[in-house]
Amino acid sequence: MTKTKKRNLIILSCILAILIVPNLTVRITPSKARRALPESATEIHEEYNGCVFYDFSRILKAKLSKADFQLFVKNYGGLTEYNPTIHRRHRRPRGH
């Protein structure tokens, strides 16, 4: 293999590592919110959408008692309680 081909292969490998490693790391490592959940939390589900570099979102769903939820919100902040009228997923219109 020539010197130029080796250099190009190294550059390509570095570029791929820069693009792939952050995406894998974010998806494998539990989020700060998940780590902050109390031990009493059950039915924990974490969902990822998008790419780390743009339009990335994490959705965390867990079953907590009302008191534990209030404490979690106070300590973690920026969260709201699930409300089916506000947080519903896109549904097909009736009759289709």
- Could you give the number of structural domains in the chain? 2
CA 18 to chain centre: 19
53 and 74 co-located in one domain:
yes
Range of the domain at 7: 1-29
46 and 68 co-located in one domain:
yes
Report the amino acid identity of residue 65: S
24 and 35 co-located in one domain:
no
72-94 pLDDT tens trace: 888 777 666 667 776 665 455 55
Q: What are phi and psi of 66, to 5 degrees?
A: -60, -45
Helix (H, G, I), strand (E, B), or coil: what is residue 15?
Answer: helix
Is the pTM value of this prediction over 0.75?
A: no
41-75 pLDDT tens trace: 889 888 777 665 666 677 788 898 988 888 888 87
